[in-house]
Chain A
Amino acid sequence: MQAGTLAVVRRPRPLPAIVPIGLTVVVLAILGVHGFASARNVTNLGLQGAILLMLSMPMTLVIMSEGLDLSAGAVLSLCSVAMALALAGGHGLSAALALSIAVGAAFGLGNGMLISLLGLPPFVVTLGTLGIAQGIALVLTDGNAVSGLGPAVSALYSRSLLGVPYPVLAALATWWLTHVLLYGTRFGNYVYAIGGNRDALVLAGARAWAWHVAVYVYMGCVVGFAALLLTGRMNAAHPTVAIGMEFDAIAAVVLGGTSFERGDGRLFGTAIGVATIAVLRNALDLLGVESSLQVVSIGVLIMVVIVIDSLRKARKSA
């Protein structure tokens, strides 16, 4: 092996079960839901899916590294609150965005250090930081919404380029950036290795812990940036508004066929998972099904897809 390179074997795998299921959902929505296929609704769908796509991309890397981030929704709320307080306090948009990204990165750093350096189980660590982020957001706002942000952030949110809204462009840019990081850099190879065989990475001379922390810091930075979309959409911030968004993001990653155990996964599958969830939620909205049952349907969808994937795997190995 050449110095400084690490060969990672990526075997071709069958498409995850989400591809046919996702296509079915889309076809059913187009044929069966009145108003789904209108230009206006498609724009709406893109806007609704943008934050989810942004969160799901780094979440894919987190899950590939045998991790999990249950704190993403609470940290997103906190970042949005921080951004809104900065804007309401008369600071510029770039300063507010920098603050938001710094808050997200700090939580990512904390999560990463506890998980990587101390070897603590990710789901408990991020459950603890979920409580901390939610608590700080509640204490800062006294449980109320923050408004009076001025027009800057909502104006940016509603701009578009060649008919594509800025939030959708931002989400696609996150996909592209994550794609480049995962498939085109050493960092990407190490993400595969951390999930697959961490010891091998250490023996190859890489600082596994630092790269492992970097995965969570990247997650935190993207969450901090996603707060721009969340705040712009409402032109306000609420301390608990994004709680539960991490469930949709984790669902999208799992639906996309990324494994918790073997250090493999793919961004394309995650994107299909995001599209399926966004279409499902949008179509159910149009049909008048309330949000609580949408959550139930996503939970059931996860179970169904995992069962199908594990049955196929079992048949293959039998």
Chain B
Amino acid sequence: MSGLRERALAAEAAPRERWRHRVGSENVALAFRIGLIAAIGIVLALSTDAFLSTANLLNVLRQASLMFLLASGLTLVIVAGGFDLSIAANLTLSACLAAAAIKSGSPWLGAAIALGSSVAVGVLNGFAVTLLRLPPFLATYAMLWILQGLAFHYMGGLEIYGFPAAFRALGTGFLLGIPVPVYLMGVVLLAATLFTRATNFGQELYTIGANRDAARLSGIPVGKRLLLVYVVSGLMAGIAALVFLARVNAADSGMGEPLLLPVIAAVLIGGTSLFGGVGSVLGTALGATILAMVINGMNLLDIKAQWQPLVVGVVLLAAVLADLMGRGRRERIG
């Protein structure tokens, strides 16, 4: 009788089962992504004149580093089996709140406001997911609209622009010929890689994401760890808000929204599995570079901005499918 049951369930799951056993090793996956970057680079170099110029390549890196800052926090959340849909709206609100102070010549106060508000949002997300036990996508989706509404109300449809040159260096400046945000990306990448690979805390996130019940039974304080992950995600949104403000030299209530889909796509292309427990911040850095190249290529090829959501949507779905094929469908937990 149990054989019948197994067979019936297996037959139903057959289309998924076929993919499930194709497991690629970590290094092969990273090499594949570097190859993808090279392939896109070759295509763009052959089809446009401007792509290979130093200025443009640095521009791609600058765009990638902004997406990476947002995506790195999201990576940790997804590795731990959660999700954060509010990152882009969090960036918008903290940038809008900080803009007035920065414009009036107090960049440190502005930075404190941006980081304070973004971390507060992270704490609220963390409480909603751990204490109230809301599904992460639902809690952070409601939070997305709350933050977006607050930002729109605060700005009243206007924008705040024109920041001091010293602050703008954070987004547009160069150090030894390399854009400042790229250094930030390097620091965050190094810190997050060390954190996830070499600390117990980091390893525990993978355990929580792979099997929450097992993590709890083995004594990991799951609630506290998850709360902290959402706080980190909020903090990264605040840092990204400051870099974004400094780069575009203006704040408005629609600034973050176009980033949400590319950032999620970057995380998934980077090999982080939506089913939790698998992924790396290094992969996300490569994913952000791939997305930045695609968007840059569309600009260079004179493809209208209207195509961008369509292309990013297709890339996002392709990334989800690749997650499924490369890793096999993992059991969903929690």
Which residues of A are interface residues toward B (Cβ below 8 A)?
68, 70, 114, 117-121, 123-125, 127-136, 138-139, 142-143, 199, 202-203, 208-209, 244, 247, 250-251, 254, 260-261, 290, 292-296, 298-300, 302-303, 306-307, 310
B309 to chain A, nearest CB (A): 4
The number of residues on chain B lying at the interface, defined by a beta carbon within 8 Å of a beta carbon of chain A, is: 49
Q: Which residues 121-138 of B have a CB within 8 angstroms of A?
A: 128, 132-135, 137-138
Q: Closest B residue to A129 by CB, please name it.
A: B313
Tell me whether chain B's interface is mostly helix, strand or loop, or mixed.
Answer: helix
CB nearest neighbor in B for A300: B146
Q: In the bound complex, how far is the Cα of B141 from the Cα of A260, in angstroms?
A: 14
Q: Are B150 and A135 in contact, with the CB atoms below 8 A?
A: no
How many residue pairs bridge A and B at CB < 8 Å? 140
Q: Does B16 sit at the interface, judged by CB under 8 A?
A: yes
Least CB distance, A175 to chain B, in whole angstroms:
24
Q: Which residues of A contact B314 (CB under 8 A)?
A: 128, 131-132
Closest residue of chain A to B312, judged by CB?
A131
**Chain B residues with CB below 8 A from A203, complex form:** 5, 8-9
Task: Tell me the complex Cα distance, A293–B146, Å.
Answer: 8
How long is the Cα–Cα vector from A156 to B135 in the complex, in angstroms? Answer: 41
A136 to B308 Cα, complex, angstroms: 10
Q: Within the complex, what minimum Cβ distance (angstroms) separates B46 from chain A?
A: 25
Q: Once bound together, how far apart are the Cα atoms of A299 and B134, in whole Å?
A: 14
Does B133 lie within 8 Å of A310, measured CB to CB?
Answer: yes
Q: How far apart sit A133 and B261, CA to CA, in the bound complex (Å)?
A: 13
CB–CB A260/B149 < 8 A = no
Query: Please, which residues of chain A bring their CB within 8 A of the CB of B274?
Result: 120-121, 124
Does residue B30 face the partner (Cβ distance < 8 Å to A)? no
A91 to B227, CA, bound (A): 55
| Distance to closest chain B CB from A239 (angstroms) | 8
Q: Mark B138-174, 1 if CB is under 8 A from A, else 0.
A: 1001110110111011000000000000000000000
Closest B residue to A130 by CB, please name it: B313
**Could you write out 7 A-B pairs with CB less than 8 Å apart?**
A114-B317, A119-B16, A131-B310, A131-B314, A138-B306, A294-B149, A299-B142
Per-residue CB contact flags for chain B residues 164-197 toward chain A (1 = under 8 Å, else 0) read 0000000000000000000000000000000000
Is there an interface contact between A302 and B310, defined as CB atoms closer than 8 Å?
Answer: no
Contact between chains at A118 and B324 (CB < 8 Å): yes
Q: Are B306 and A135 in contact (CB under 8 A)?
A: yes
* A62 CB, nearest partner CB in chain B, Å: 13
Q: B153 — nearest CB in chain A belongs to which residue? A: A292
Q: Separation in Å of the B221 CB from the closest CB of chain A?
A: 21
Given A120-B324, A123-B83, A296-B153, A202 and B9 contact (CB-CB distance below 8 Å): yes
* Closest CB pairs A-B (n = 3): A135-B310, A131-B313, A292-B152
Instruction: Collect the chain B residues with CB atoms within 8 Å of residue A130's CB.
Output: 261, 313
Residue of A nearest to B124 (CB): A303
Given contacts A244-B145, A261-B135, 17 further A-B pairs with CB under 8 A are A118-B324, A119-B16, A119-B324, A120-B274, A121-B137, A124-B320, A127-B264, A128-B320, A132-B310, A135-B311, A142-B304, A199-B9, A260-B135, A299-B145, A299-B149, A302-B142, A303-B128
Cα of A128 to Cα of B9 in the assembled complex, Å: 29
User: Does B320 contact A125, Cβ atoms closer than 8 Å?
Assistant: yes
The CA-CA distance from A16 to B321 in the complex, in Å, is 38
For residue A294, which residues in chain B have a CB less than 8 angstroms away from its CB?
149
| B residues near A125, Cβ cutoff 8 Å | 317, 320
A293 with B149, Cβ < 8 A, contacts A127-B261, A127-B264, A260-B138 known:
yes
B307 cross-chain contacts in A, Cβ below 8 A? 135, 138-139
Q: Quick check: is B329 within 8 A (CB to CB) of the other chain?
A: yes
Which A-chain residue is minimally distant from B329 (CB atoms)? A119
Of all chain B residues, the one with the shortest Cβ separation from A143 is: B306
CB distance from B24 to the nearest CB of A (A): 18
Contact of B264 among A119, A124, A250, A298 (CB under 8 A): A124
Contact A123 to B153, CB < 8 A, known contacts A131-B316, A202-B12, A303-B142: no
List the A residue with the shortest CB-CB distance to B136: A123
List B contacts of A209 (CB < 8 A): 12
B145 touches A120 (CB 8 A): no
What A residues does B141 contact at CB under 8 A?
70, 123, 247, 250
Question: How many Å from the CB of B279 to the closest CB on chain A?
Answer: 14
